[in-house]
């Protein structure tokens, strides 16, 4: 079994869609009870992805896929960066649902960029994924997509900062893209395609008996 180590419903949905082409038995964290979330203390997305993959692999006894991803805004010296998911956490009541936190994050981002002109609102989404078995990380991959931050949200698909992240080549925000369009170019889509190819090579080309991929 492969455990998808996230409680973010939007991210879990994307993981499942991106892994749909592989013969995997994939599960979220729900069957494993109330595992406390680990503290994210890494200075990079890669650090946090590795730490989460190792943590949840140890907690569940299963192979685990974890990611750390976020928004890097040039005008904010790289913020919110590794704090993307909790950028405005002090602005919402403890225990708030994900969509409430997402909305607070977007409001704070717009406040911070209020006086920044269009040409300086460049940004990128970054994703690092890590696959671990109990005891060690086995595979890693990353992806990046360039864009810029709008002055107001547009679109109702996706989650997080998607309604504010405009991709010039598409003339739309990532929240205005269909799931297939988003996966084709997104940071998470890029990282997961790389990881899927690594999985095929790691478990099939070497005739290894896979503990997570069905025969």
- Contact (Cβ atoms closer than 8 angstroms) between residue 107 and residue 152: no
One of 34, 47, 51, 68 is an active-site residue; which one?
68
Let me know if 162 is a catalytic residue: no
| Crossing angle (nearest 10°) for helices 9-18 and 187-200 | 40
**Rounded Cα–Cα distance for residues 66 and 78 (Å):** 22
**Nearest of 174, 181, 214, 212 to residue 17 by alpha carbon:** 181
Rg of the chain on CA atoms, in Å: 17
φ and ψ at residue 142, rounded to 5 degrees: -145, 170
Please list, in sequence order, all residues whose beta carbon lies within 8 angstroms of the beta carbon of residue 92, skipping any fewer than 6 positions away. 100, 101, 104
Catalytic residue numbers, as ranges: 68
């Amino acid at each position: 079994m492969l455990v998808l180590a996230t409680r973010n419903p939007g991210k879990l949905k994307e993981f499942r869609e991106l892994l749909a082409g592989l013969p995997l038995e994939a599960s979220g964290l729900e069957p494993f009870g109330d595992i406390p979330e680990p503290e994210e203390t890494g200075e990079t997305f890669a650090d946090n992805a590795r730490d989460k993959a190792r943590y949840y692999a140890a907690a569940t006894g299963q192979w685990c896929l974890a990611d750390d991803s976020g928004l890097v805004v040039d005008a904010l010296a790289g913020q919110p960066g590794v704090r993307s998911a909790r950028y405005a956490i002090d602005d919402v009541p403890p225990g708030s649902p994900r969509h409430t936190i997402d909305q607070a994050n977007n409001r704070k981002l717009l406040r911070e960029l209020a006086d920044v002109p269009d040409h300086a609102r460049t940004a990128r989404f970054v994703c690092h994924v890590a696959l671990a078995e109990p005891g060690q990380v086995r595979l890693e991959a990353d992806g990046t997509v360039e864009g810029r931050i709008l002055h107001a949200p547009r679109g109702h698909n996706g989650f997080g900062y998607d309604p504010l992240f405009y991709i010039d080549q598409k003339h739309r925000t990532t929240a205005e893209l269909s799931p297939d369009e988003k996966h084709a170019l997104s940071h998470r889509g890029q990282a997961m395609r790389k990881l899927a190819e690594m999985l095929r090579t790691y478990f099939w080309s070497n005739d290894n008996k896979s503990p997570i991929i069905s025969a």
